[in-house]
Structure 1
């Protein structure tokens, strides 16, 4: 499923820099070798969040491949700390956990992509490429978790800001136009769009708008314009 200061978008032919933060040494070294073989520049492998944060501050990589569970830290808190130090760095989270709560927590923290370690190295590399293109890939074995049982009606759990983004998407605005109108970054718009897709059970922005229209979630123009916070 590919529909999350703004993150950099790096064309596949550019030499993107990648940092791996993972305490599973064999996996991290294998991934590093594959990254290098695909023309990406590995700037380091770190086994703890503290070392990873230090490397992020000094290297400012285009992408960090971040293990969800690290010694002394877990996914969302580590991701937030990393984004604070380098807001333009994109983050692909790897995890052995397959719970919906883990995925949603990561997305709320600003994750740019999410892959479980059940996937083979080819799937991980596909996710790396997608994140560098500015997409927000979600591991296929987690898509069901995005549209699982909900305690609230479909669309009933949209936040105010997600609703604002939805209205503008429904009016035909691009992500860049939404960002300008709401005075937020394009990366934040992508995050909101990903949340909207998951909450509406949609696989694209077009499908999300169609679902929202059917549910009566879209306002008419006379209802007023969306104002930035």
Structure 2
């Protein structure tokens, strides 16, 4: 069962999203928050698998709440849920440690897919957001491939295999099956990779894998 914390300052939005998620027998909304501060407190109390957090909330906004939620409950995956798709929001959310960026206008299936993806240790971007991220990467200065390869060289062979599959968008469960490892072992490798390379989340790890030219290799 995937335990979800839902944070949005509009009660009707919470009710609607809660109804969508509750239609999936594998997802349970365990707590609801109307402010960013409440979201942090409830994350500490309930330790949910996933926190769905709106950007614009009173007290503490969603972007500020993301790193605070992760400190309060390190095993919780945070997904930003918003009607906005501005580049600045995307960048701040991902840099703050969010694993997903979901639009409130998305189809219910996309919302549930995002929750399941991050609960499984993956990352998820709504298609419209993904296109913005790709555009940002394409418009960046010359690819730092050499520097990326030097960073990746510090990893063990197995860690490189795991990073390559993270870059290909695989979940922990998928990586475990492909590399014939226990899922807990994959989680440990991913945590070690993020720590060793000073990365905040799997999205940054995937970008680095692409820059180093190893994405998809396993």
Normalising by structure 2, report the TM-score.
Answer: 0.72
Give the one of 1, 15, 19 matched to 1:33. Answer: 19
Higher RCO structure (Cα 8 Å, ≥6 apart):
1
What's the CA shift string for 1:123-153, capped at 9, x where partnerless? 1111111111211011101122112252412
Tell me, yes or no, if structure 1 residue 194 matches structure 2 residue 195. no
Q: Distance in 1 between matches of 2:149 and 2:102?
A: 24
Give the one of 162, 178, 185 matched to 1:174. Answer: 162
Residues 106, 181 of structure 1: CA spacing in aligned structure 2 closer, same or farther, 3 A cutoff?
A: closer
Give the one of 123, 126, 130 matched to 1:143. Answer: 130
Q: What stretches of structure 1 of length at least 5 have no aligned partner?
A: 1-14, 210-229
Bigger shift: residues 93-102 or 72-81: 72-81
Q: Distance in 2 between matches of 1:182 and 1:143?
A: 21
- Relative to its length, the structure with more helix (as a share) is 2
Please say if residues 162 and 193 of structure 1, whose CA atoms lie closer than 8 Å, have aligned partners that are also in contact.
no
Matches within 5 A, 1:87-102: 87-102=74-89
Residues 191, 100 of structure 1: CA spacing in aligned structure 2 closer, same or farther, 3 A cutoff?
A: same
Tell me, yes or no, if structure 1 residue 164 matches structure 2 residue 151. yes
Residues 132, 183 of structure 1: CA spacing in aligned structure 2 closer, same or farther, 3 A cutoff?
A: closer
Q: CA deviation at 1:69?
A: 1.4
Q: Distance in 2 between matches of 1:53 and 1:182?
A: 23
Q: Distance in 2 between matches of 1:96 and 1:189?
A: 23
Please say if residues 37 and 65 of structure 2, whose CA atoms lie closer than 8 Å, have aligned partners that are also in contact.
no
Larger Rg: 1
Residues 148, 31 of structure 1: CA spacing in aligned structure 2 closer, same or farther, 3 A cutoff?
A: same
Residues 165, 136 of structure 1: CA spacing in aligned structure 2 closer, same or farther, 3 A cutoff?
A: farther
Q: CA deviation at 1:89?
A: 0.7
Q: Distance in 1 between matches of 2:39 and 2:208?
A: 31
Work out the number of aligned pairs and report it.
188
Q: Distance in 1 between matches of 2:195 and 2:29?
A: 34
